[in-house]
């Protein structure tokens, strides 16, 4: 996968291009003050100076890529420092709309291994509207006040003052540990309609204003930013964005290794993530994308210069992934996957937590997508997903789970043995019945029984 935003084969060009972009922004924007112009020039010069430090790779998505020279020796992985907050282990749970609610976060905590959790992303403007018109707060803040810390709340909007107002309230009223800004969402409803999320990667000056005002409003609580590599592969300039984020006062930068244009297609570009380390002076770099095993998490730390990792979609149906990754970072054996019976039990506990909050009907609808995640990649998952996608009641949900959720082979074999035992008992009763009714010996079944056995043998 090649794009002109890549640093490979010409890091100077890439960074100089980024510098020119800033100069162009300053020169051709009609509403740029002298202060903003100076800011752009200084940032562009900084980009050019750092240009030769980029990383290249012919296959950036490959996890067996050549390790960088700065790979950490065994045992050197340290806790993550985000402003005054220590995150240990340096493994973060990603904010995901529609998924990372209180119930999911509780399930993850049950297994352990996560250093910092995050809510679903919260629309700042919607927060204010609900408060003013309905005197309530978004469902996405369910459980935030009472659950254990540390906990981050991610917010999004394109208006600096609105973001600052909501950030301050989250700190004062909810006592959150981190306020995270969403600059990475690629969904059209957020980018095209609301001009937020990854759309703002095209507007570094507005990003700077949002971050700086939020930092001032939330201090001393740290403010972080989550970005993608860019909007498109042709226009991406992640080094520039990284510098903007740090200059504005963010305490950490999380990078998903795809552009908004990529959505979730292809593989995350971890070489580009690693390259951004050279554009940051004092804040940590957190990598995100395709981390679906403990081995990949460890490899990311050893070879891609990240200070922390953020696990997202891979853990939706595998909340134990965090504990597996944490064990790998400690140099301990990675715990095995839970049995399918244990996974089913976990899913049902998850369902019960959602029911407690939303009631049976809404919880059943919400749980459909989670149930599909739990079954993903398992034998028989397709049949289960097909049926669970249409459940409408708790009775339906439990029935479908019991009948079609993938089962451990040992459980299947046990069921087979039990079924054979039932069938054998039935045959014995039939044979005894034959002795009583027809006066024949038990080892000489009647003609009807012989015909039945012959038919069964043909089916086998």
| Cα(104)–Cα(151) distance, integer angstroms | 13
Q: Is 4 a catalytic residue?
A: no
User: Are 284 and 80 spatial neighbours (Cβ–Cβ below 8 Å)?
Assistant: yes
User: Are 302 and 64 spatial neighbours (Cβ–Cβ below 8 Å)?
Assistant: no
Report CA-CA distances (Å) from 422 to 403, 416, 427, 456.
19, 10, 9, 16
User: Are 276 and 48 spatial neighbours (Cβ–Cβ below 8 Å)?
Assistant: no
User: Are 389 and 401 spatial neighbours (Cβ–Cβ below 8 Å)?
Assistant: no
Q: Which of 185, 218, 231, 346 is catalytic?
A: 185
Catalytic residues: 185
């Amino acid at each position: 996968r090649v794009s002109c935003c890549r640093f490979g084969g010409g890091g100077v060009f890439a960074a100089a291009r980024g510098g020119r972009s800033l100069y162009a922004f300053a020169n051709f924007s009609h509403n740029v003050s002298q202060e903003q112009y100076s800011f752009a020039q200084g940032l562009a010069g900084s980009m050019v100076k750092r240009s030769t430090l980029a990383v290249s790779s012919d296959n950036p998505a490959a996890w067996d890529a050549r390790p960088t020279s700065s790979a950490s020796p065994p045992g050197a992985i340290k806790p993550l420092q985000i402003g005054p907050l220590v995150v240990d282990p340096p493994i973060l749970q990603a904010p995901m709309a529609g998924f990372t609610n209180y119930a999911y976060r509780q399930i993850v905590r049950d297994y352990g291994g996560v250093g910092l959790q995050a809510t679903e992303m919260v629309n700042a403007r919607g927060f204010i509207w609900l408060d003013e018109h309905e005197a309530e707060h978004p469902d996405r803040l369910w459980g935030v006040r009472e659950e254990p810390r540390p906990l981050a709340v991610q917010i999004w909007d394109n208006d600096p003052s609105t973001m600052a107002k909501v950030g301050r309230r989250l700190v004062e009223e909810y006592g959150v540990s981190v306020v995270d800004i969403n600059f990475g969402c690629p969904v059209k409803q957020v980018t095209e309609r609301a001009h937020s999320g990854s759309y703002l990667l095209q507007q570094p000056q507005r990003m700077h204003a949002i971050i700086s005002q939020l930092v001032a409003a939330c201090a001393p609580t740290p403010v972080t930013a989550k970005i993608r590599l860019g909007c498109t592969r042709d226009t991406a300039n992640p080094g520039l964005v990284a510098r903007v984020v740090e200059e504005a006062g963010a305490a950490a930068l999380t990078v998903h290794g795809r552009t908004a244009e990529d959505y979730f297609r292809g593989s995350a570009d971890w070489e580009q993530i690693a390259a951004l380390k050279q554009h940051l002076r004092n804040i940590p770099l957190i990598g995100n994308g395709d981390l679906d095993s403990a081995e990949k998490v460890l490899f990311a730390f050893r070879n891609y210069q990240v200070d922390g990792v953020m696990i997202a979609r891979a853990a939706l149906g595998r909340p134990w992934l965090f504990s597996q990754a944490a064990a790998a970072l400690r140099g301990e054996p990675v715990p095995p996957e839970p049995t399918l019976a244990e996974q089913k039990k976990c899913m049902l506990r998850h369902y019960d937590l959602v029911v407690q909050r939303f009631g049976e009907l809404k919880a059943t609808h919400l749980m459909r997508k989670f149930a599909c995640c739990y079954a993903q990649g398992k034998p028989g998952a397709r049949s289960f997903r097909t049926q669970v996608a249409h459940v409408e009641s708790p009775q339906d949900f439990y029935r479908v789970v019991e009948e079609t959720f993938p089962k451990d082979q040992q459980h299947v074999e046990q069921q087979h043995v039990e079924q054979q035992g039932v069938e054998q008992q039935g045959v014995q009763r039939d044979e005894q019945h034959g002795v009583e009714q027809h006066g024949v010996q038990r080892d000489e079944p009647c003609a009807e029984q012989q015909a039945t056995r012959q038919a069964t043998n043909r089916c086998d």
